[in-house]
C-alpha cells in the first residue's frame, strides 16, 4: 500500500528545495535556445567599424591567419572560433566578435561583457566541471522523483484511473515524435 502522506512530503520537500534551480535551468534553456539571434549572455559595450586594406581570399583563412588578423586589430583576446559563411568571416573571441565582408574588407568589431545575472544563468547549461555534472545528474534524478511522486500523490477515481496514464505517456512520446519529424525536414 502506498503511503500517500510520505510521498506528498517527499514531493513537496524536493520541490521546494529545487524550485530556484528549476526556474534557473528553465530560463537558461530558453536563453540558450535563442543564442544565435539574441546574445543574452553578451552585453555590447562598444562597436567599431574597420576596413582592411585588401580583400581576403577565403582559401587563405586558417587559425594562424585569424590570430594574426586579431592581433593587427589590437585585440588582446583569446580566439574561440572562426567561420566563413556567405562571403563573411566571423571571428568569435572571449570578449568580442569580429565580422568582415571578404570582398570589401569592411567589417565591425563588437566588444561585450557578460550580462549580469542572465550570463551567469546561461552558464548552468554550459558548465562542464565534474562537480557540476554530478550535481546536475542528482538534480535530473530528483526531477524524475518529483514527477513520479506527483503522479502518486492523489489516487484518481476508478473512471479516470484507466485514462490517467495516457497523459504522462503522451508527454513522453511528444518530444520523441517532435524530434523524429524535425529530423526528416
Q: Which of 144, 106, 127, 170 is nearest to 41 (CA)?
A: 127
Q: Which of residues 114, 130, 151 is at a domain's end? A: 114
Answer yes or no: do 103 and 165 share one domain: no
- Of 47 and 125, the structure prediction assigns the larger pLDDT to 47
Answer yes or no: do 131 and 174 share one domain: yes
Answer yes or no: do 71 and 47 share one domain: yes
Q: Is 99 exposed, middle or buried (0-12, 13-18, 19+ CB in 10 A)?
A: middle
State residue 82's pLDDT score: 92
Count of Cβ atoms closer than 10 Å to residue 39 Cβ: 17
Q: Which residue has the cell 545575472?
A: 117
Backbone angles phi, psi at 78, to 5 degrees: -80, 125
Q: For 56-84, what is each residue's pLDDT tens digit?
A: 778 888 898 899 889 988 888 899 999 99
Answer yes or no: do 96 and 55 share one domain: yes
Answer yes or no: do 106 and 168 share one domain: no
Q: For 22-37, what is each residue's pLDDT tens digit?
A: 887 788 778 777 777 7
Torsion sign, CA atoms 21, 26, 27, 32: positive
Q: Which of residues 93, 114, 135 is at a domain's end? A: 114
Rounded CA separation 182/109 (Å) = 35
Enumerate the β-bridge partners of residue 79.
93
Backbone angles phi, psi at 81, to 5 degrees: -170, 165
Answer yes or no: do 153 and 164 share one domain: yes
Rounded CA separation 36/33 (Å) = 8
Q: Which of residues 83, 114, 145 is at a domain's end? A: 114
- Domain count for the chain, please give it: 2
Answer yes or no: do 163 and 143 share one domain: yes
Cell numbers for 17 = 528545495
Q: Which domain holds residue 76?
A: 42-114
Q: Which of 7, 22, 12 is nearest to 152 (CA)?
A: 7
Answer yes or no: do 46 and 110 share one domain: yes
State residue 109's pLDDT score: 92
Q: For 107-163, what is each residue's pLDDT tens digit?
A: 999 888 877 777 777 777 777 778 888 888 888 888 888 888 887 777 777 777 777
Answer yes or no: do 98 and 65 share one domain: yes
Answer yes or no: do 57 and 95 share one domain: yes
Amino acid at each position: 500500500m502506498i503511503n500517500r502522506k510520505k510521498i506528498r512530503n517527499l514531493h513537496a520537500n524536493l520541490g521546494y528545495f529545487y524550485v530556484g534551480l528549476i526556474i534557473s535551468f528553465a530560463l537558461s534553456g530558453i536563453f540558450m535556445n535563442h543564442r544565435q539571434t539574441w546574445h543574452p549572455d553578451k552585453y555590447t559595450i562598444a562597436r567599431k567599424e574597420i576596413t582592411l586594406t585588401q580583400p581576403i581570399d577565403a582559401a587563405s583563412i586558417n587559425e594562424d591567419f585569424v590570430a594574426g588578423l586579431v592581433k593587427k586589430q589590437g585585440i588582446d583576446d583569446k580566439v574561440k572560433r572562426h567561420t566563413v559563411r556567405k562571403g563573411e568571416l566571423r571571428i568569435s573571441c572571449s570578449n568580442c566578435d569580429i565580422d568582415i565582408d571578404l570582398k570589401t574588407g569592411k567589417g565591425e568589431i563588437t566588444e561585450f561583457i557578460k550580462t549580469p545575472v542572465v550570463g551567469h544563468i546561461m552558464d548552468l547549461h554550459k558548465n562542464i566541471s565534474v562537480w557540476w555534472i554530478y550535481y546536475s545528474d542528482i538534480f535530473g534524478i530528483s526531477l524524475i522523483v518529483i514527477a513520479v511522486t506527483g503522479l502518486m500523490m492523489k489516487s484518481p477515481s476508478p473512471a479516470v484511473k484507466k485514462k490517467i496514464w495516457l497523459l504522462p505517456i503522451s508527454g513522453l512520446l511528444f518530444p520523441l515524435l517532435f524530434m523524429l519529424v524535425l529530423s526528416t525536414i
